Amino acid sequence: MKLSLQEPSLKKISGVLALPVLDGKLHSHSLAKKVDQALGGLLSSFIKKTEFKGRVAEVENIATHGKIGAFQVLLVGLGKGKKLEADDLRRAAAASAKAAERLKSAKLYSALSLIDHDWKPEELAQILAEGTVLSTYRFDKFKGKKDPKSHLAGVEFLLSAIKEKAAFARGLKLGQVGAEGALYARDLVNTPSHNKPPEVLGLEAKKLKGVRTRVWKHQEIKKMGMGALYGVGMGSTRHPPVFIEMHYKPKTKAKKTIAVVGKGITFDSGGLSLKPPKYMETMKDDMAGAAAVLGLMKILPQLNPKVEVYGYISSAENMPGGGAQRPGDVVKAYNGKTIEVLNTDAEGRLALADALSYIGKHRKVDYIIDMATLTGAALVALGDLVTAALGTDEALIKKIQKAGDFTGEKVWELPLEERYWEDFKSEVADMRNIGGLYAGTINGALFLKQFVPEKTKWVHLDIAGPSWANKPWTYCPVGGTGIMVRTLARLLEDF
């Protein structure tokens, strides 16, 4: 998809033209007035007389019968009597692009870029680009009958302020690259587990350009002492675990070093603590943390933030095969601590324990952010739209939250209540892998904390809910959402 800029001259517009409707009125820009005039007042009378309310992302298309260059005009709602949020605009951009696709137009001219707003020009452009690119997502690789092909090859955003042009173009690029990273993550999540075992995630990491990658295979994982990750992988007779490190170094001197860590369980059957069938249906999604890390590492060389970034993935298939670890088994993590595995379905924390320990032993980083579909309890607490954040650095949590408010990926902090740690006490090992009955999401984070290198600022993001869309959203169909790629990209942009 080609995104570009053009002056709002009626003569230069063909294909489909999108005009914003704000507060129930055609947004009064000279271009909108000209179009309405050329159509004999059709647009304003349509808004006045029909059911069209101009709700956010509501779109109505109106034929122009050759009266202007564009063959259709889209009236695109931006809501009524409310503050315009970034996600409203993102959805409006997405709905416009989807309408242009339905009309089989190769070109969309969008006047959404002409609205009055409080964002920086770069931010407005980023939001519009994100909505546009994210809306085009299809996952039909495994369908015999493919989804209808899109004819939409480009979107021209109309811009009159020449002085904003450079900033706007930068924003379009940021938005497009970020969205493409998220779409890559969606693809990885939506891919059936059969087609993305741990070794395939390793190959994906090796394909990334501008990033140095190392992949440890299962014998090495065992030999180097990553007993927790190795234990999770033992139940899979076909697909052994891998540990992945990726490294992005900016061209200029880095201000800070950060590690992002993803849970990469390519399928979570629960292991011998087997899940009931209903709970297993979406468990190909249990590598969404890893997908977010891959999506981010893929786009970093294009975004070029001044931060050094290490990406880590602990990947295994959690299966109940003959070699599987048993409830009651004791494994030794990379930092030497022993864990009594009482529930083999609490495997994500085991896999991540070794990645976190590895960082502590071999790398000096200022921050660690881990992302994991760690607990069903996160869904109970916050539903499928909000990410749970827990950690040791309030400022970093706030920063992630702020970035998420911009990208439309909501984040909410839960308390890291230390007293719950008492329930992890084991009679035979340093700790058990499960805690008390309640506060499952806090428990998961408390377990991870045991492996976070001391004095390193750390935030854990439990994305069990928002990594998967149960209902479609304007710019995301049911399935993998590609959560956190755009939010972390935004975070690193001005870290």
Catalytic residues: 275, 349
Place of tokens 């931060």: 307
- State the nearest-atom distance from the C-beta of 271 to ligand BES, in Å: 9
- State the nearest-atom distance from the C-beta of 119 to Zn ion, in Å: 38
**Beta carbon nearer to ligand BES, 113 or 318:** 318
Residues from 158 through 217 that contact ligand BES (CB under 6 A): none
Place of tokens 């009064």: 28
Which tokens hold the place of 57? Answer: 């992302």
Instruction: Decide if 353 contacts 444 (C-beta within 8 A).
Output: no
Which tokens hold the place of 93? Answer: 């951009």
Binding status of residue 268 toward Zn ion by CB under 5 A: yes
343 touches, from ligand BES, Zn ion, none (C-beta below 5 to 8 Å by class)? ligand BES
| E strands in 319-385 | 329-332, 338-341, 367-372
Binding status of residue 79 toward Zn ion by CB under 5 A: no
321 touches, from ligand BES, Zn ion, none (C-beta below 5 to 8 Å by class)? none
Number of residues that bind Zn ion (CB under 5 A): 6
- State the nearest-atom distance from the C-beta of 114 to Zn ion, in Å: 46
- State the nearest-atom distance from the C-beta of 437 to ligand BES, in Å: 9
345, 354, 366, 409: which one binds ligand BES (CB under 6 A):
345
Give the Cα separation of 108 and 152 in Å (integer).
7
Residues from 377 through 416 that contact ligand BES (CB under 6 A): 377, 379
Phi-psi region of 316 (alpha: psi -120 to 50; beta: other; left: phi over 0): beta
Binding status of residue 370 toward Zn ion by CB under 5 A: no
- State the nearest-atom distance from the C-beta of 347 to Zn ion, in Å: 5
Give the Cα separation of 399 and 383 in Å (integer).
22
Binding status of residue 439 toward ligand BES by CB under 6 A: no
Q: Which of 174, 247, 239 is nearest to 205 (CA)?
A: 247
Position closest to ligand BES via CB? 376
Label residue 260 exposed, middle or buried (CB < 10 Å: 0-12, 13-18, 19+).
buried
Which of the ranges 79-87, 342-350, 417-425, 450-458 carries the binding residues for ligand BES, by CB under 6 A? 342-350
Sheet holding 307-318, edge to edge: 212-216, 242-248, 307-318, 256-268, 367-372, 457-462, 386-391, 410-413
Binding status of residue 187 toward Zn ion by CB under 5 A: no
- State the nearest-atom distance from the C-beta of 479 to ligand BES, in Å: 13
Binding status of residue 343 toward ligand BES by CB under 6 A: yes
Q: Distances in Å between the alpha carbon of 324 and those of 195, 230, 234? A: 21, 10, 5
- State the nearest-atom distance from the C-beta of 265 to Zn ion, in Å: 5
Within 10 A of 225 (CB to CB), how many other CB atoms are there? 17
**Beta carbon nearer to ligand BES, 405 or 423:** 423
Give the Cα separation of 76 and 63 in Å (integer).
14
156 touches, from ligand BES, Zn ion, none (C-beta below 5 to 8 Å by class)? none
440 touches, from ligand BES, Zn ion, none (C-beta below 5 to 8 Å by class)? ligand BES
Binding status of residue 462 toward ligand BES by CB under 6 A: no
For residue 131, what are the β-bridge partners? Answer: none
Which secondary structure element, helix H or strand E, spans residue 264, and what is its range? strand 256-268
Number of residues that bind ligand BES (CB under 6 A): 15
377 touches, from Zn ion, ligand BES, none (C-beta below 5 to 8 Å by class)? ligand BES
- The sign one gets for the Cα dihedral 389, 174, 295, 255 is negative
Give the Cα separation of 314 and 353 in Å (integer).
9
Give the Cα separation of 295 and 290 in Å (integer).
8
268, 308, 354, 409: which one binds ligand BES (CB under 6 A):
268
Instruction: Decide if 435 contacts 420 (C-beta within 8 A).
Output: yes
20, 197, 264, 440: which one binds ligand BES (CB under 6 A):
440
Q: Which residues contact 314 (CB under 8 A, 6 or more apart)?
A: 229, 241, 243, 261, 262, 263, 264, 351, 352, 354, 355
- How far is C-alpha 238 from the chain's CA centre? 29
Which of the ranges 124-132, 229-237, 339-347, 479-487 carries the binding residues for ligand BES, by CB under 6 A? 339-347
Binding status of residue 376 toward ligand BES by CB under 6 A: yes
190, 191, 193, 375: which one binds ligand BES (CB under 6 A):
375
- State the nearest-atom distance from the C-beta of 344 to Zn ion, in Å: 8
Binding mask 334-353 for Zn ion (x = CB under 5 A): -----------x-xx-----
Residues from 273 through 312 that contact Zn ion (CB under 5 A): 286
Which of the ranges 12-20, 27-35, 38-46, 374-382 carries the binding residues for ligand BES, by CB under 6 A? 374-382
Give the Cα separation of 475 and 447 in Å (integer).
35
469 touches, from Zn ion, ligand BES, none (C-beta below 5 to 8 Å by class)? none
**Beta carbon nearer to ligand BES, 176 or 375:** 375
232 touches, from ligand BES, Zn ion, none (C-beta below 5 to 8 Å by class)? none
Which tokens hold the place of 177? Answer: 């690259």
Positions that interact with ligand BES (CB under 6 A): 268, 286, 343, 345-348, 373, 375-377, 379, 434, 440, 464
